[in-house]
Amino acid sequence: MDANPALFLYPLEHSKILHLVRHAQGIHNVAGEKDHNALLSPEYFDAHLSPLGWQQAGNLRKQIYASGHLERIDLVITSPLCRALQTAIQVFGSEGQINGSKEANIDNSGISSLKCPPIVASELCRERLGVHPCDKRRTISENRSRFPTIDFSLIESDEDILWKTDARETDEEIAARGLKFMNWLWTRPEKEIAIVTHHRFLQHTLNALGNDFHPSVKNKMCKKFENCELRSMIIADKE
């Protein structure tokens, strides 16, 4: 798990530890690697995890448990897209969350007795909006039924009113949304937070955050996340 060394310069009482996770492999990832145009197919609406994706998430759960992070994380924030919700439950869910979800597919292997953090969904950290059906979410009503232990109270609209059929969110718009998300994180009382999100969101958010750093640090921050990869970083208040 990588950390940005430049962010350790400030007192820890004015900092937060973030664990950034790209969702595990989705069925749209498999199709898109073969033919990028497949991402335009309604078949991949709000794409779910592939069999390999479930395996990746289970492996990451075991790594987090072994490292002790699972007991220290105060909160998990996840995108409301299916592949991220499934990853969040599979990696960070407690026994009660896993048993309460219709989506989990996990061998706890002694991990289930741990007290695990609450999981909250946020629209701010979802994937690039528009055009691709795989990036359009289900209704919140349906998601609450499928993921009853995830808190969807931050999402105001039942329908996905952010996703547009004919307009794809620009790089600049994703970066602005990402910075808004990071500013919101700073207002949260929790000190150690895991975020389950997406490739393009991570890419453009970290690229915007990295503008104040040396190019070598920025390159390390912005290196492409693989499916179900976790990187840890500290954000700190310079004041």
Q: Angle CA(46)–CA(142)–CA(33) in degrees, nearest 5?
A: 10
Name the residues annotated as catalytic.
23, 127
Exposed, middle or buried: residue 41 (CB in 10 Å: 0-12, 13-18, 19+)? middle
Task: Tell me the β-bridge partners of 114.
Answer: none
Burial profile 55-75: b = 16 or more Cβ within 10 angstroms, e = fewer: bbbbebbbebbeeebbeebeb
Q: What is the largest CA-CA distance in the chain?
A: 49
